[in-house]
Structure 1
Amino acid sequence: MTPADLSRSVVRAVRCAVEDGELPAGVVVPERVVVERTRPGGVGDYASPVAFGVGRGAGVAPRGVAEVLAPRLAALPGIERVEITGAGFLNFVLAGSSVAEVVRDVRARGPRYGFAPDGEPRARVVRDAVLRIERSQADRSQGRPVGGGPAPVAPVAKRDGDVVARYGADAAAWAMLCVPAHETPVFPAWLLVQDESSEFFRVRYAHGRARALIRNAGQLGFRPDPGDVDGSADALLGALVDYPLVLEAAAHHRAPERLVRHLVVLADALLDFQYHVLPKGDEKPSAAHRARLALAEAAGTVLAGGLALLGIDAPDHL
C-alpha cells in the first residue's frame, strides 16, 4: 500500500463507519485526508489527524472516532498495524513495498505515476468546467483565481525585471514555484549555474543521468528488469514511494512548492544511487545490475513527470 492509497483508504473507512452506524449520521466524510510521515519520536511510518476533523464536525471526541477507524484500517492488506496516540492521532505501520513492485507501478503509469484515479465521471466533468471558469476570471480578480486558488499570489518584484528573458522560461518558473504563492519569489544567481550547486540544475541533470544510464547499459548489452535491490537503494525507493502522497498534498494545499522540494530530494537520491547501477571494471552485467537500472529508469520517469506538472522541460542531455 502506498501513502496515497492509505489516504484514500482512510476516507473509505470513515464513509463505511458512517454507513454502518458506528459514527453519527451527521458526520461529513472528507474528500481528502491528510497523511504525513511520522515526525521524529512518533509511532509507525505515517500518521493522520483525521479523527479531530471528523469528531469536531459530529460532536464526538477524536479518540472515539480513532477507536472506530483503527480496527477497520488495521484489517486492510498492506497495513501491518494501526496505533492511536495522544487525543486521537492514527499512526500506521505499512507493509514494506518491494523495489520491484514500485518500479512496475512506475512503468505501468509512466509520467502519470502518483496521479489520483480519474474518479466518478460527473465529478470530473464538473471539476474541469470549474477550473476553466476560474481561469476565465483570473484577470478580473487581480491574479486571485475565484473558487479557492492560491490567494494572494505575490508578483515578481519590479527590480527583477523580465526574469523569463534573463533566466529562461524553465529556470524562471522553477524560482517562481519553489516558494509559497504568497511569498515574493527570489531569482538567485545559481539559476544560471550548470553544476550541482544549483537545485534546478540537479533535478534536470538527474533526469538526464537516468537516461544516460539506459543508453550506457544498452552499449554493455543489458536492459532494465525490475527486481530486488540492496540497501543502497533505500533513500531512492523512499522518495519514489512518497511521491504520490506529495502530489496529493500539493494539490490539496494548492502548494506546488511541495512538489519542487520533493523533486530535489528524489534527484539527490538518484544522483547518489547512480554509481551503483553499471558494472565496474571487468564485472559482467547481472540481475542485480538490471534491477538497479530499472529503479534508476523509474526515478527518471518520475522526475520527468514532476517537471512536466510544473511546466518545465526535462531534457535527456544537459
Structure 2
Amino acid sequence: MNPAQLSSTVVDALTALVDAGSLALPDGVPAEVTVERPRQRSHGDYATNVALQLARKAGTNPRALAEQLAERLRAAKGISAVDVAGPGFLNVTVAADAQGQVAADVVAAGAAYGSTEAFAGEQINLEFVSANPTGPIHIGGVRWAAVGDALGRIFTMTGAQVTREYYFNDHGGQIDRFTGSLLASAQGRPVPEDGYGGLYIDDIAAAVVARRPDVLDLPDDEAQEVFREVGVDLMFTEIKQSLHDFGVDFDVYFHEDELHRSGAVDKAVARLTELGNTYEQDGALWLRTEQFGDDKDRVIVKSDGNGSYLSGDLAYYLDKRSRGFDRCFIMLGADHHGYVGRMMAMCAAFGDQPGVNLEILIGQMVNLVRDGQPLRMSKRAGTVVTIDDLVGAIGVDAARYALARYSSDSNIDLDLDVWATQSNDNPVFTVQYAHARVSSLLRNAADLGVEAASHPELLTHEKEGVLLRALAEFPRVVTSAAELRAPHRVARYLEELAGTYHRFYDSCRVLPMGDEEAGELHAARLLLVDATRVVLANGLGLLGVSAPERM
C-alpha cells in the first residue's frame, strides 16, 4: 500500500461515516487527504492529521473524529493497526502483505512508475536558456538547461503536455555589436569597445570568411550584413550542438525577429488598447502596468514609432497563449529579478492570471571552484565559464545532476574536484553506483537461476519495510517536484533511496549462499531489488542523467 492508496482508504472511511449519518461535512468529503511518513518508526508506517483539519467543519472534537476514523480504518483491507495520538493524529501501520505488494507494483509499472495525473490536460510552454546568440552558453544558462529540461520531464510524468521552447534573440543592438565584432576580427582590427571578445569571435569570423571568401571585398555595411546572416547562424548552431551534447533539445526555436516582421507586436498592442489598458503621453504609447502591480507604467511604443523592448515581450506572450498554452513558464537569471513585476502586470493587462497563466522562475548564481579557487574565465570565451568548460571538467551526468540538485533560487558553489571523483563524496556517483550495484546483483541472480517473484507477506524485516516505504514515496516526490517547480527534490530523494538500499542489502541476504536452495524469501527480496532498480533509473531519467549498469 502506497500513500496514494492509503489516502483513498481514508477518504473511503470518511465517506462511509458521512453516509452512515455519523459525520456531517458541509463542504463534502475531500478528494484526497495528506498522508506522511512519521519521523519515528514507532509511530507506524504513515500518519495523517485529517481529523484535526476537518473537526471544526464537522462540529466535533478532533480526537473524537480521529477515534471514529480509526475504527473504520482498522477494518480496512491492508491495514494492521491504527492508533490515535495527541489531539487527533492518526498513526497507521500497514499490513505486511499490503506493504510488500509495493515491490510488485513498481516492477509491473516499470518506466511508468512515478507517473501521476497532477497536471493531466495542462498545456505547458517551458521557455528556458534562451541565451543571446552572441557567444557560447555561460554557466548561468547551463543551470537553466539542466533545471529546465528536468522540470519538463517532471511535468510530463505528471500528465502535462510540455513544449520546450528557446527564444532566439536575433533582433536588436546586441546582434549589431556581435556582427561588428566578427567584421573587426576578420579585418584584423581590434574588437569595438562595446563588442564581444574571446577566441570564439576569431573562430566564427574565420568560418564566415571560409564560407564567403568575397566578404572582405564588400563595403563594410554589406560585409556586416553577411556576418550577421552567416555568423549568427554559425553561433546559434554551435549553441544548439552544445545543448544537444548536454542532453537538452527544444521543440521550438522561436525567433524574436519574426515577432517584428509578422505584425505580432502591432497585434498585441491593439489587443491591449481594445482592453483599455494603454494611453498616449509625450508622443509615446504607454501600458497601464502600475494598476496591475508594477512600480510604474511602461512605454510600449516610443515617440519615434518604434516598439520598446517590452513590446516584443507582449507579442511573444500573446503568441504563446494563442498557440493554446495554459501555462507559460519563463526561466531567467538573477539579474532579471526586477523584470518580474512588469511581466506579471503585462499578463494581468491581457486579462490573464499572473502566477497561473504566466510564471517566472529566477535562477541564482553558480560559482565553479577548483583547487579551492573560483573559476572565472574560459580559455575560449575569454570572459565567462561556458557549458563546454563545465562538461569538459566533470562530464554531462555530473554537470546535470549537480546543477539540478540545488533549489534554483539559491546560489551554489560547485567544487569540480568533488564532482569529478568516484567516491561517496560525489552525490551523482553515489546514486549511479547504487543502480550499478543493483544491476550487478540482478545479473548474478540470473546466472544462479534465481528468479524474482511476488511473496509480499514475506517482506517483514524492518529494513525491507523502510525500503518499501521509500519506494512507495516516489510518485509523491515527483508530484511535489512538479508542484513546487523543484527538480532538486528528486535528486535528494534518490540519494536517500540509495542509502536506504545499501542498509537493506547489508541486513537482508538476497541470494542463497553455497549449496543453499533458493526459496520464496530470496525471490521476494530479489523483486524488491528489481523495484529499487526501477525507481533509481526513473529518478535519474527525470534529471536527464544516465543509470549505468556497470561502473
Q: Normalising to structure 1: TM-score of the pair?
A: 0.77
CA RMSD of aligned residues (A): 4.0
Output the CA distance in 1 between the equivalents of 2:99 and 2:75: 24
1:1-20 matched pairs, under 5 angstroms: 1-18=1-18
1:1-318 matched pairs, under 5 angstroms: 1-18=1-18, 21-27=21-27, 29-40=29-40, 43-55=43-55, 61-97=61-97, 101-116=101-116, 118=117, 124-125=120-121, 133=325, 136-139=328-331, 146-147=355-356, 153-157=362-366, 161-162=385-386, 165=391, 166-188=393-415, 189-227=417-455, 234-249=462-477, 251-252=479-480, 254=484, 255-274=486-505, 276-280=509-513, 282-284=514-516, 286-287=518-519, 288-318=521-551
Q: Per the alignment, in what secondary structure is the counterpart of residue 261 of structure 1?
A: helix
Output the CA distance in 2 between the equivalents of 1:212 and 1:82: 39
Query: In structure 1, what residue type is equivalent to 2:356?
Result: G
Once the two structures are TM-superposed, the CA of residue 41 in structure 1 deviates from its matched residue by 8.5
Output the CA distance in 2 between the equivalents of 1:209 and 1:47: 33
Contact between 1:28 and 1:54, CA under 8 Å: does it hold in 2? no
Distance 1:296 1:157, change over 3 A: same
Shifted more, 13-22 versus 262-271: the winner is 13-22
Once the two structures are TM-superposed, the CA of residue 152 in structure 1 deviates from its matched residue by 5.5
Output the CA distance in 2 between the equivalents of 1:41 and 1:296: 22
Query: In structure 2, what residue type is equivalent to 1:267?
Result: A
Q: Per the alignment, in what secondary structure is the counterpart of residue 414 of structure 2?
A: coil
Output the CA distance in 2 between the equivalents of 1:227 and 1:150: 47
Distance 1:88 1:274, change over 3 A: closer
Contact between 2:115 and 2:475, CA under 8 Å: does it hold in 1? yes
Output the CA distance in 1 between the equivalents of 2:496 and 2:524: 21
Once the two structures are TM-superposed, the CA of residue 47 in structure 1 deviates from its matched residue by 1.3
Shifted more, 69-78 versus 51-60: the winner is 51-60
Once the two structures are TM-superposed, the CA of residue 186 in structure 1 deviates from its matched residue by 4.1
Output the CA distance in 2 between the equivalents of 1:13 and 1:129: 31
Residues 168-206 of structure 1: CA deviation (Å, up to 9, x unaligned): 443233233434443334424432211233232121111
Output the CA distance in 2 between the equivalents of 1:115 and 1:45: 22
Output the CA distance in 2 between the equivalents of 1:292 and 1:216: 14
Distance 1:68 1:37, change over 3 A: same
Distance 1:299 1:155, change over 3 A: same
Once the two structures are TM-superposed, the CA of residue 100 in structure 1 deviates from its matched residue by 6.0
Once the two structures are TM-superposed, the CA of residue 298 in structure 1 deviates from its matched residue by 2.2
Residues 241-295 of structure 1: CA deviation (Å, up to 9, x unaligned): 3323353155246354443333223222333555733455x43552254444333
Residue ranges of structure 1 left out of the alignment (5+ in a row): none
Contact between 2:418 and 2:425, CA under 8 Å: does it hold in 1? yes
Distance 1:296 1:125, change over 3 A: same
Q: Per the alignment, in what secondary structure is the counterpart of residue 84 of structure 2?
A: strand
Contact between 1:202 and 1:267, CA under 8 Å: does it hold in 2? yes
Identity rate of aligned residues, in percent?
32
Higher strand share: 2
Q: Per the alignment, in what secondary structure is the counterpart of residue 277 of structure 1?
A: coil
Paired residues, what number?
313
Once the two structures are TM-superposed, the CA of residue 305 in structure 1 deviates from its matched residue by 1.7
Output the CA distance in 2 between the equivalents of 1:170 and 1:7: 36
Contact between 2:47 and 2:92, CA under 8 Å: does it hold in 1? yes
Once the two structures are TM-superposed, the CA of residue 77 in structure 1 deviates from its matched residue by 0.8
Output the CA distance in 2 between the equivalents of 1:92 and 1:148: 39
Query: In structure 1, what residue type is equivalent to 2:494?
Result: L
Distance 1:51 1:232, change over 3 A: closer
Distance 1:224 1:204, change over 3 A: same
Q: Per the alignment, in what secondary structure is the counterpart of residue 314 of structure 1?
A: coil
Distance 1:110 1:28, change over 3 A: same
Q: Per the alignment, in what secondary structure is the counterpart of residue 208 of structure 1?
A: helix
Once the two structures are TM-superposed, the CA of residue 57 in structure 1 deviates from its matched residue by 5.4
Once the two structures are TM-superposed, the CA of residue 304 in structure 1 deviates from its matched residue by 0.9
Residues 206-247 of structure 1: CA deviation (Å, up to 9, x unaligned): 111222222233333443334479889642442233323353
Output the CA distance in 1 between the equivalents of 2:462 and 2:41: 21
Distance 1:56 1:130, change over 3 A: farther
Query: In structure 1, what residue type is equivalent to 2:330?
Result: A
Distance 1:173 1:292, change over 3 A: same
Query: In structure 2, what residue type is equivalent to 1:178?
Result: R
Output the CA distance in 1 between the equivalents of 2:74 and 2:18: 18
Contact between 1:239 and 1:265, CA under 8 Å: does it hold in 2? no
Contact between 1:229 and 1:292, CA under 8 Å: does it hold in 2? no
Contact between 1:111 and 1:301, CA under 8 Å: does it hold in 2? yes
Residue ranges of structure 2 left out of the alignment (5+ in a row): 124-158, 164-324, 333-338, 345-353, 370-384
Output the CA distance in 2 between the equivalents of 1:202 and 1:53: 40
Contact between 1:3 and 1:242, CA under 8 Å: does it hold in 2? no
Output the CA distance in 2 between the equivalents of 1:28 and 1:36: 23
Residues 142-184 of structure 1: CA deviation (Å, up to 9, x unaligned): 6999339998654343667446534444323323343444333
Distance 1:296 1:159, change over 3 A: closer
Residues 59-104 of structure 1: CA deviation (Å, up to 9, x unaligned): 6543344244332322211112322222221221221247863432
Contact between 2:3 and 2:472, CA under 8 Å: does it hold in 1? yes
Output the CA distance in 1 between the equivalents of 2:15 and 2:399: 43
